[in-house]
Structure 1
Amino acid sequence: MAKRGSYAKGIERREQILDAALRVIADRGYRATSVSELAAAVGLSQTGILHYFGSKEELFIAVLRKRDELDAAAPRGRHPVEAFIDVMRKNAEVPGLVELFAYMSVEASNPEHPAHQFMLDRYRVLTELLAGALREMQDSGSLAPDIDVTSTATALAALADGLQVRWLLDPTIDMAAQIEQFWNQIASRTQA
């Protein structure tokens, strides 16, 4: 029984760390946030915080996973593309998390990086979700049948990533509006 209690406490503590990390990184940014600052935010030492994650990279991957979980928990019943646009709108409020995602995406291009598989899986799931929604639109006749849904889903994800990097350089860019405009151009190609 004691093991279960300590296991549950470990999971709870890990969630507290992730919640604090989301707040601190969103506010201060990835590069301006150290593991020791995150540890201090939850009353642990740097060694203590890494006990729950193993490494700095694993901690930051867990932060991105948690962010994705929170984004996926948005109100149900929305079209996946609309929910995707809403996430981009929300990203403008958390520049540090956008910075973390951009840095980790580049670092994860190295197959040896701990985030490599996470990023591959993330893009696979996102592409499947968006492509499935587009396929349903084609089946209902609200999207032109000649649109390649997988290619369009891939382009939407790539556009979002590129816009996030551009937005880090120039915060006057409205990421959500840009994706919405792209989406409206695709969606207007309905079956004749």
Structure 2
Amino acid sequence: MTRARGADRRASIVRAAFEVIAERGYRGTSLAAVAERVGLTQQGLMHYFPTKEDLLTAVLETRDEWDLLHFGHARPGDPSAISVSQLADLVDYNATRPGIVQTYTVLSADSVTEDHPARKYFQDRYARVRAGMAQMLERHRDELPPGTTPEQLAPLAIATLDGLQLQWLLDPEEVDMSAGFRTFLALLGVKPD
């Protein structure tokens, strides 16, 4: 098998894993179900991803890479390298890819259990995102509500983003996450750069 064909196969497996995880959650996902989705045997899939945890890692890394490709210069999970306008654009972009948003939401919720293999990934990611969000908000310190700091507002901004995504997934006709996030920025007094 050529290297390019192997990379294509890995990519198709990861896409299938996104779909299956979004439908069933991580715990309800099996390598056999993902293999069936891409027309492989479980043994064939294990040639590319020996364990379910390896596949989960690839799913999470791929999601971050897709965001990187969209914003080219930002590191995955680090909003400090992007502007408020770019972050608002990311919310718009996410509205075009409900399957990715659904998979991320399911995995992040699943990861709160002690033995979940993605728990450390999400703990580390949220720590980076909080720090990056605080740095991004620091550039707007003069616009923030009196008596607040970027460090106080960073977790609230992330909670707003994640909460809007969840509500949008549950009722996309009623919840406009792009408008909701822009309203949140207005409440903070932050003007897109």
Describe the superposition over 1:120-175 as per-residue Cα deviations: whole angstroms up to 9, x where unpaired. 1111111111111111332xx45467322122111111111111111111012211
Q: Which amino acid aligns with 1:185?
A: L
Contact kept? 1:22, 1:67, Cα under 8 Å: no
Counterpart of 1:161 in structure 2 is 162
Aligned with 2:23: secondary structure? coil
Question: What is the alpha-carbon distance in structure 2 between the residues aligned to residue 144 and residue 59 of structure 1?
Answer: 43
Structure 2 residues without counterparts, runs of 5 or longer = 75-80
Q: Deviations over 1:9-31 (max 9, x none)?
A: 49x83x53553356556778721
Match of 1:35 in 2: 34
Per the alignment, residue 178 of structure 1 pairs with 180
Counterpart CA distance in 1 for 2:10 and 2:176 is 28
Matching of residues 64-103 of structure 1 within 5 Å: 64-73=60-69, 74-76=71-73, 79-103=82-106
> What is the TM-score of this pair, normalised by structure 1?
0.74
Q: Displacement of 1:93 after TM fit?
A: 1.7
Instruction: Say which SS state the counterpart of residue 146 (structure 1) adopts.
Output: coil
Counterpart position of 2:77: none
| 1:70-99 C-alpha deviation (Å, 9 max, x unpaired) | 213415498433222222212222222122
Match of 2:132 among 129, 133, 141: 129
Displacement of 1:66: 1.3
TM superposition shift of 1:116 = 0.2
- Letter of the 1:160 counterpart: L
Partner Cα distance (1:184, 1:106) in 2: 28
The percent of aligned pairs where both chains have the same amino acid is: 30
Root-mean-square deviation over aligned CA pairs: 3.3
State which of 100, 105, 110 in structure 1 corresponds to 2:108.
105
State yes or no: 1:61 paired with 2:57.
yes
Look up the match of 2:78: none
Structure-2-length-normalised TM-score = 0.73
Q: How many residues align structurally?
A: 176
Q: Which amino acid aligns with 1:106?
A: A
Q: Please, which runs of 5 or more residues in structure 1 have no aligned partner?
A: 1-5
